[in-house]
Amino acid sequence: MFTMKTLTKHSLPYHHGNLSRALIDATLDLIAEKGIKAFTIREVAKRAGVSHAAPYRHFKNKEDLLCSVAIEGFDMVIQDTRKRFETCGNDSLKRFRESGLAYIDFAATYPSHYRVMFSSGEHRMGEDLENRSKEAFAILYDCICDCQNKKLVRPCEPFELAMAAWSIVHGYAMLIIDGFVTDSSDRLKYVITDALYFGLRFE
């Protein structure tokens, strides 16, 4: 469902304009090719076609740059999830399902963002990133609560059910971006989200 231009492909060297955007694009390209462990400010600057000192005009250090990438990723998935909800009306189960599909589709479309969003490191210590992460989780949590209120999901602690649901979706998303799942038909993602509901449904 994502229609945004893929940010990790066809990045051009920076010449003028938005340097921070060029650096984020270069970061995403580098992570896509070599992983987060290979990420350095020096390599990002080289890929963006700027001096080694140029990135520090916008980012304090590499952790700050990674934090910006993660924040952007959460903003994108939050925006897409809420957009999907607009087509769900009052169907709580559909919103619950779409919240999971949004994560899966985002991971498949923007794997470099996703890796940074859920990697460990000092970049995760920022307040802005923490708030975005909480907002994303709150969407799922609210879906669980809404389904419980309508007796569609069993009456357990909603936080625990939300954690279970997130863990299943996140695990499947990681299997996709690590290349263990190659389902070109996308059928499996619906099987996963349906199985998730059936496991939590009210009996």
pLDDT value for 18: 86
pLDDT value for 17: 65
Single out the residue in 18, 38, 59 at which a domain terminates: 59
Task: Please give the Cα distance from 49 to 41 (Å, whole number).
Answer: 12
Task: Please give the Cα distance from 82 to 42 (Å, whole number).
Answer: 37
Total domain count for the chain?
Answer: 2
- What angle (nearest 5°) sits at the alpha carbon of residue 123, between those of residues 66 and 69? 25
The answer for residues whose C-beta is within 8 angstroms of residue 51's C-beta and 6 or more apart is: 45
pLDDT value for 202: 72
Task: Please give the Cα distance from 85 to 95 (Å, whole number).
Answer: 6
CATH of the domain at 28: 1.10.10.60
pLDDT value for 3: 45
Residue 2 counted as domain residue: no
pLDDT value for 6: 44
pLDDT value for 121: 84
Residue 82 counted as domain residue: yes
End-to-end CA distance of the chain: 32
Q: What is the pLDDT along the chain (203 residues), one digit of tens a residue?
A: 554 444 444 444 555 468 999 999 999 999 999 999 889 999 999 999 999 999 999 999 999 999 999 999 999 999 999 999 999 999 999 999 999 999 999 999 999 999 999 998 888 888 999 999 999 999 999 999 999 999 999 888 999 999 999 999 999 999 999 999 988 788 999 999 888 888 888 76
Residue 102 counted as domain residue: yes
- Provide the residue range defining the domain that includes 46: 7-59
Single out the residue in 42, 59, 76 at which a domain terminates: 59
Assigned token pair, 85: 């909800």
Same domain, 55 and 112: no
Residue 1 counted as domain residue: no
Instruction: Fill in the DSSP letter of residue 201.
Output: B
pLDDT value for 2: 55
pLDDT value for 104: 96
Same domain, 178 and 88: yes
